[in-house]
Amino acid sequence: MSEKLIEVKNLKKYFNTPKGLLHAVDDVSFDINKGETLGVVGESGCGKSTTGRAILRLLEATGGEVLFQGENILKYDKSRLRDLRREMQIIFQDPFASLNPRMTVSEIIGEPLAIHKMVNSKEGQSKIVKELMDTVGLSERLVNTYPHELDGGRRQRIGIARALSLNPKFIVCDEPVSALDVSIQAQVLNLMQDLQKDLGLTYMFITHDLSVVKHISNHIAVMYLGTLVEKASSKELFKNPIHPYTQALLSAIPVPSIKHKKERVILKGEITSPINPAPGCRFAKRCPYAKDDCFKVSPELKEVVKDHFVACHYYKEINNM
Ligand code: SF4
């Protein structure tokens, strides 16, 4: 049986704004098995990045639990949190913005080793940096270059090498290929998959693009306005999407064959405000199947087929189940 590395239980993150309380993440629960990838998908502003940052404690959660290897890390004090930082890392979307332009490749990759006192000499650090560069496919001759001298793919490889430098178990990958050209996206995704196999890494892979996570994810969680609306294995979700929002997302993926082409679902209607949201389904204003009670009662995430969870009052009718 698969071993759980991460268990997120009823995670909440609210922000105070001049207009009221913004519910960025509301009661989100999921597990990630050791050595596997959970793809977290949704439009910009759905709370997927906030969820990732709250798990890593880069943002403090408003409520809920995050268990890492069985321990609730939201209760960790500063010193335990410092040790935890080695185990849990992040790769950002825009490698150019996340890398210090005044530091060389070697300094960027070596910085976490120095901060966490993982090496006791310059020579030791330089040796590990070169090994990491080799692991992510960066030529050693680039060791003294600066981020602006490199293309997007190489910059993202620096971000990956830096994330790997402390030998983590878990990495939040926050849209790591969205800023890259399609051909370079494939190279970086392949590299990440190879590293996962070789190093036994566990990923939470955040993206707005379902097609990107299809092959890299074991499971996929779909988020809409701070809530989880559907969760299943990647294979099952692509074969049998049940929630109307997931169906709309999937219909937007280009299919090469005309035979298998599905009609694209264009979502209309205004987006519900995440500030002091009223009870009810947050997707109701855009859902073509919404009925009166969808605006009054929030649907719970329920297992509707084995290991396939959906939050919708009318999933049976919509899918002729
Ligand atoms: Fe649509 Fe209602 Fe289901 Fe929400 S609960 S997805 S509004 S049918």
Kindly state the average pLDDT of the residues 156-184.
91
Domain count, the chain: 2
> Residue 261's pLDDT band (boundaries 50, 70, 90)?
low
Asked if the structure places residue 96 within a domain, the reply is: no
Residue whose CA is at the smallest distance from ligand 1 atom 6: 312
Residue that terminates a domain, selected from 142, 165, 188: 165
Could you tell me if residue 95 is inside a domain?
no
Distance 172 CA to ligand 1 centre (A): 30
What is the four-CA torsion angle of 229, 233, 236, 241, rounded to 10 degrees?
A: 10
Question: Do residue 277 and residue 173 come from a single domain?
Answer: yes
Least confident of 23-32, 100-109, 192-201, 260-269: 260-269
Pairing of strands 37-41, 219-224: parallel
Residues 80 and 121 in one domain: no
CATH of the domain at 193: 3.40.50.300
CA 318 to ligand 1: nearest atom: 8
* Residues whose beta carbon lies within 6 Å of some atom of ligand 1: 244, 281, 283-284, 287, 289-290, 294, 299, 312-314
Report, as an integer, the average pLDDT of 24-51: 96
What ligand 1 atom has the least distance to the C-alpha of 289? 8
Residue 80's domain comprises 4-87+168-319
Run of H or E including 53: helix 48-55
pLDDT > 90? residue 266:
no
In a domain, 94, yes or no: no
Using most ligand atoms within 8 A of CB, pick from 287, 316, 321 the residue to mutate for ligand 1: 287
The residue ranking higher by pLDDT, 163 or 215, is 163
Task: Output the residue whose Cα is nearest ligand 1's atom 7.
Answer: 284
Domain annotation covers residue 238: yes
E strands in 162-305: 170-174, 202-207, 219-224, 227-233, 302-305
The DSSP 8-state label assigned to residue 217 in this structure reads -
